[in-house]
Amino acid sequence: MQHGPAVRRRKLGAELRALRADAGLTSGEAARLLGWHQSKVSRIETGTSGVKPTDVMRLLDVYAVDDPELRDLLTVLAGAEDDGRHRWWHAYRGVLPPAYRDFISLESQARGMRTLETSVVPGLLQTPEYARAVTRAAVDGLEDCKLDALVEVRLARQDVLRSCPPLELNAVLDEAVLRREVGGPEVMAHQLRRLCDAAALPQVRLQVLPFTAGAHIGVTGPFVIFSFPNTTDLDVVVLDHLTSSLYLERKEDLQAYSEAFDALQFHALSPEESLDYIAGIADGA
């Protein structure tokens, strides 16, 4: 397990190495074309050192990579300061911890997101009132101005569901998410109705894992699996902890969590049944 930046460097390096091979170049040939020492290319490809966004663009030019989506993705992984389309969160650098910024950068470029939530509604589906209540509870003694900023970030993140193409969100919600009264009855009722609205979106698939399902593989805690366009080598599992986030990148980890998510979907209610279930709880709220 590693923290986000180290994982991103390794994944970026592996992808650049594969693109170089596809271009039919050795690391030495690529270095000569760029006027670099071969060791620089090697360090980039092994992820042992960071790489400037401008250098990534030069490498992609040499490798004749003209796919704009892939170029954009790899640039973001390098930490590029682009035109702001995908890095709006830098305006909140003073209030966002690095792990959260890293998570948002991955989320902004992902093609799909599979998530198990066991305690709270996924951030991409939270109402402003619910987001405020959750954030206030999670961060003790937070100043109002910082609380406002964090809620703004939570709501701004939701734009990925309205982008073109939108992020495909597959979420399994433990019933506890629906039953835990966050922010009071009125806030919770509004949040449940928001979930019903979201479930009708073609890019969103919601399933409820009812209490009657008993113990399940997700009892160990929530997780997120990000999938990216063009390549599966960049897919990553994210585990949130109280003070940090951990990223799993090994193929064995990705396979294990993907299989776990498939099992959770199998034991959960269908999307149609889940919508009725959520609506029933909302009506009784």
pLDDT digits (tens, 9 = 90+) for 24-82: 999 999 999 999 999 999 988 888 777 888 899 999 999 999 988 888 878 877 764 44
Asked if 178 and 278 touch (Cβ cutoff 8 Å), the reply is: yes
Query: How far is it, in rounded angstroms, from Cα 240 to Cα 99?
Result: 10
- Output the six-digit token pair for 75: 């640039």
Prediction pTM value: 0.78
Query: How far is it, in rounded angstroms, from Cα 70 to Cα 37?
Result: 26
Q: How many CA atoms lie within 13 A of 38 on its CB side?
A: 5
* CB proximity list for 140: less than 8 A, separation 6 or greater: none
Mean per-residue pLDDT of the chain: 86
Q: Calculate the alpha carbon distances from 232 to 15, 27, 157, 160 in Å.
A: 10, 23, 23, 20
Over residues 130-170, the pLDDT tens digits come to: 999 999 988 777 888 999 999 999 999 999 999 888 999 99
- Give, rounded to a whole angstrom, the gap between the first and last alpha carbons of the chain: 41
Residue 88 pLDDT level (bands cut at 50, 70, 90): confident
Asked if 238 and 245 touch (Cβ cutoff 8 Å), the reply is: yes
Query: How far is it, in rounded angstroms, from Cα 176 to Cα 117?
Result: 9
